[in-house]
């Protein structure tokens, strides 16, 4: 009975870890989408002055979350973090090819590039 309970606790911990990683990635991706819309408008000066602190805070939060997700992807891909942000890692992995490169291409093509106004984030 104790062995079964220990096994169940281990599976529960693993499920919580995977769920937490999924949620953290989703939050970071949401902030990325917001930042990709805010950055060009901040550069163009089209955001009202009183809203700019909120916009800059959202962009800063997107960068911090990007760095955290970069560490998460480093663990998942068994790849030491060499770049501060995920985009740099994805570009490097795409250039290197292989299984990780295909995964990086998938993430860039389907999750990041469509939301960058240039269409070519990584």
Q: Are the CB atoms for 42 and 55 separated by under 8 Å?
A: yes
Closest alpha carbon to 44 in 121, 117, 122: 117
**73: pLDDT strictly greater than 90:** no
Q: Give the number of other Cβ atoms within 10 Å of residue 47's Cβ.
A: 15
Mean pLDDT of 50-79: 92
- pLDDT tens, residue by residue, 100-115: 999 999 999 999 999 9
Q: How many helices (H) and strands (E) would you count in the chain?
A: 4, 0
In this structure, what token pair is assigned to residue 20?
């937490």
Residues in the chain, total? 122
**8: pLDDT strictly greater than 80:** no
């Amino acid at each position: 009975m104790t062995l079964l309970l220990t096994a169940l606790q281990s599976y529960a911990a693993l499920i919580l870890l995977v769920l937490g990683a999924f949620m953290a990635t989703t939050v970071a991706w949401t902030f990325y989408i917001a930042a990709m819309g805010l950055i060009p408008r901040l550069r163009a000066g089209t955001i009202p002055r009183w809203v700019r602190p909120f916009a800059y805070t959202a962009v800063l939060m997107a960068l911090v979350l990007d760095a955290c997700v970069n560490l998460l992807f480093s663990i998942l891909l068994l790849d030491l973090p060499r770049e501060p942000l995920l985009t740099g890692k994805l570009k490097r992995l795409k250039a290197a090819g292989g299984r990780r490169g295909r995964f990086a291409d998938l993430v860039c093509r389907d999750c990041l590039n469509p939301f960058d106004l240039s269409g070519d984030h990584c």
